[in-house]
Amino acid sequence: MKKLQQLLPWIVLVLSIVYAGQKLARPEKIDSPYDFNTFRQIPVSAHGRTKPLDTVARNSLMNISGRQSIQTDDGNITAIEWYIELITNPERSVKREVFRIDHPDVLVVIGLENEQRIRFSFDELRAAGNEINEQAMLASKVKAKARDPFQRAILVLNQRMMIFSELSQLVRPYLVPPLTTGDDWRSFVSVLNENPSDADARALLSVLQAFRNNEPETFNARLGEFKELVDSHISYDARKSRYEVIFNQVQPFIIASTLLLLAFLFGCFGMLSTQLTKPDWSRSLLGSMTAMIWVAFVVMTIGLASRVYLQGRPPITNLYSSAVFTGWGSILIGLIIDRQMKLGLGGIMASVIGFSTLIVAHNLGSSGDTMEMMQAVLDSNFWLTTHVVVITIGYSATFFAGFMGIAYVLLGVFTKMLDREHGKSMAKMIYGVICFATVTSFVGTVLGGIWADQSWGRFWGWDAKENGAALIVLWNLLILHARWGGMIRDRGLVQLAIFGNIVTAWSWFGTNMLGVGLHSYGFTNSAIFWLSVFVISQLAMMSIGMIPMALWRSKFSKPTVAPKPAPESVE
């Protein structure tokens, strides 16, 4: 028995590595007489970026249906197969149930409210096309901020139908490469209309015709010729293109979130067995958790590094990647904390924050290419590297302190784990993280100011996002000064740290939701609901923390003097 407990972490480590390794190393090939594996690598241009066709197919399908493949009775259809069917065999394609519709009122408008499903075919929608169009026209006249959920949903549907049509009519993406490197990519339809003898377009046409005529051998041969032709007159990074296809298939962040979720379960069981006074098992389970987190961390690092390689940019370029990076940073902090203070708490925090930020990222990224091109003003690798990375670390650290605070409250109130010593050392950790957060958020904000001075002519403009950053700095400073002045002790520190979660969430997402200011590149509209839920949950945690210490299950051996109430935030 004893042996199993010692071995378990190692077994878990090996299994996790095997799991992640086989996912990473052996991306699934499409089994078909048609050479889709080559077809999906051909370069095209969409939203200003040259990328493999695979990325366009996946992102479009993801946008329309919320998935990267279609499940049918005859098995799975991958995005690239769906795409080629869409452009060569529209009669079949319009019958596929791919349009995801969640809003019940939208279904009423289309007259499909009695269907027991959430995905519908283009044919079904086309029947109500005029009505959708009229509703979308009405909704588009309302200002974006003032639209109600129905109006937003109908516009999303209309947008999806447009994407579908543009894809099927070969308007987008631009499939025909430029005549020479440096020229613009061309739309297939317009090339065929204006210059029917264009060699590239003709070669591509014969590929598509072969597919339509069900001739796999011809398809493969024509595809080879087309690729050769393209390679002969434009230069693009074929290796990058191949790598991007692999990156699309592997989806490292999904692997990581699976591991983090499992790690969290291990952590919970580990904590539970401490309660049942089974220290061996507890150590073993927590060790297993740490092992899984390490593997997840490595996978995420590979994912981030791949994005850096593919984009040629620093790891954070938009809200999506900032969420991923925050998760990554929190995991790192958690692992470090666990090495210092062998409680297993850092790991639990790491898995919770890592998992939830990956979910947030997944939702943010579901509407399109997560490696989109950047607005002109953001096009500066230097500032993206310094300002954005540093401030995101600051945000992560503030969050981390807050989540440690929640753990402190929950463990203290509901378990007996926090004795005097552990309670003290946990509060010390939180304090340390807040110091770190203060420095990084201050430096990050300042670097942002310098960037703003370079590009807009003022260091500080009281813009919404700038104010958000300032709020985080001020909040951290408030906590530190209150602590130094003896106005709060451990519990006050913990409570204020939890409130820091609200401040950070508001600055990170809330300021984008206001839709004002120079920084409103964000695209978070439906997130308001989740932000409110989050704020309420944090306030709930703080009120649990307000329960008199005498009622806490953890007894701090010397009755701690109840700290004077922390200066309530004026909000």
Partner 1 sequence: MFRKILKPLASLRLTVVIFALSIFLVFAGTLVQVHTGIWTVVDQYFRSLVVLIELQIFVPKELATIPGAIWFPGGLTLGIAMFINLLAAHAVRFKFRKKRIGIILTHLGVILLLVGEFVTGFAAKEGNMTIREGETINFIEDIRSSEIAIVDQSDPVDDLVVIVPEQLIETDTTISNELIPFTIQVTEWMPNSQMLGPMQAPESRKGLADTGIARELAALPLPRANGVDGATVDAPSAYVTLMNGEQRIGSYLLSVYVDQPQMVVVDGRTYWIALRFARTYKPYSLHLVDFKHDLFTGTQMARNYSSDVRLVDEGRNVDRDVLIYMNHPLRHAGETFYQASFLRDDAGTVLQVVQNPGWMIPYISCTVATLGMLIHFGIRLVPTLRRRS
Which residues bind to partner 1, rule: CB under 8 A? Answer: 45-49, 146, 172-174, 184-185, 187, 340, 373, 375-377, 379-380, 383, 435-436, 438-439, 442-443, 446, 449-451, 453-464, 467-468, 470-471, 474-475, 477-478, 481-482, 484-485, 487, 503, 511, 514-517, 567, 569-571
Smallest gap from residue 509 Cβ to partner 1 (A): 13
Which of 376/550 has CB closer to partner 1? 376
Which of 516/546 has CB closer to partner 1? 516
Which of 345/478 has CB closer to partner 1? 478
Euclidean distance between CA atoms 448 and 57, whole angstroms: 36
Smallest gap from residue 164 Cβ to partner 1 (A): 17
Q: Measuring CA to CA, how many Å separate 252 from each of 80, 247, 313, 317, 324?
A: 20, 8, 19, 18, 11
Smallest gap from residue 305 Cβ to partner 1 (A): 25
Which of 414/456 has CB closer to partner 1? 456
194, burial (CB in 10 Å: exposed 0-12, middle 13-18, buried 19+): exposed
Half-sphere exposure of 60 (CA within 13 A, CB side): 26
Smallest gap from residue 131 Cβ to partner 1 (A): 26
Euclidean distance between CA atoms 410 and 350, whole angstroms: 16
Please enumerate in sequence order all residues whose Cβ is within 8 A of that of 59, keeping only pairs 6 or more positions apart, or say none.
Answer: 368, 369
Smallest gap from residue 16 Cβ to partner 1 (A): 29
Which of 85/200 has CB closer to partner 1? 200
Euclidean distance between CA atoms 419 and 555, whole angstroms: 6
Residue with tokens 């919970």: 268
Q: Measuring CA to CA, how many Å separate 155 from each of 115, 125, 494, 502, 552?
A: 21, 14, 44, 31, 51
The neighbouring-strand residues paired with 313 are: none
Smallest gap from residue 427 Cβ to partner 1 (A): 15
The neighbouring-strand residues paired with 465 are: none
Which of 304/384 has CB closer to partner 1? 384
Which of 27/461 has CB closer to partner 1? 461
Smallest gap from residue 381 Cβ to partner 1 (A): 11
Smallest gap from residue 426 Cβ to partner 1 (A): 16
- In this structure, the dihedral spanned by the alpha carbons of residues 447, 450, 454 and 456, taken in order and rounded to 10 degrees, is 100
Residue 147 CB neighbour total at 10 angstroms = 17
Smallest gap from residue 432 Cβ to partner 1 (A): 9
Which of 298/377 has CB closer to partner 1? 377
User: In this structure, what DSSP letter does residue 174 have?
Assistant: B
Q: Tell me, what amino acid is at 563?
A: P
- CA angle (27, 370, 85) in 5-degree steps: 60
Which of 145/233 has CB closer to partner 1? 145
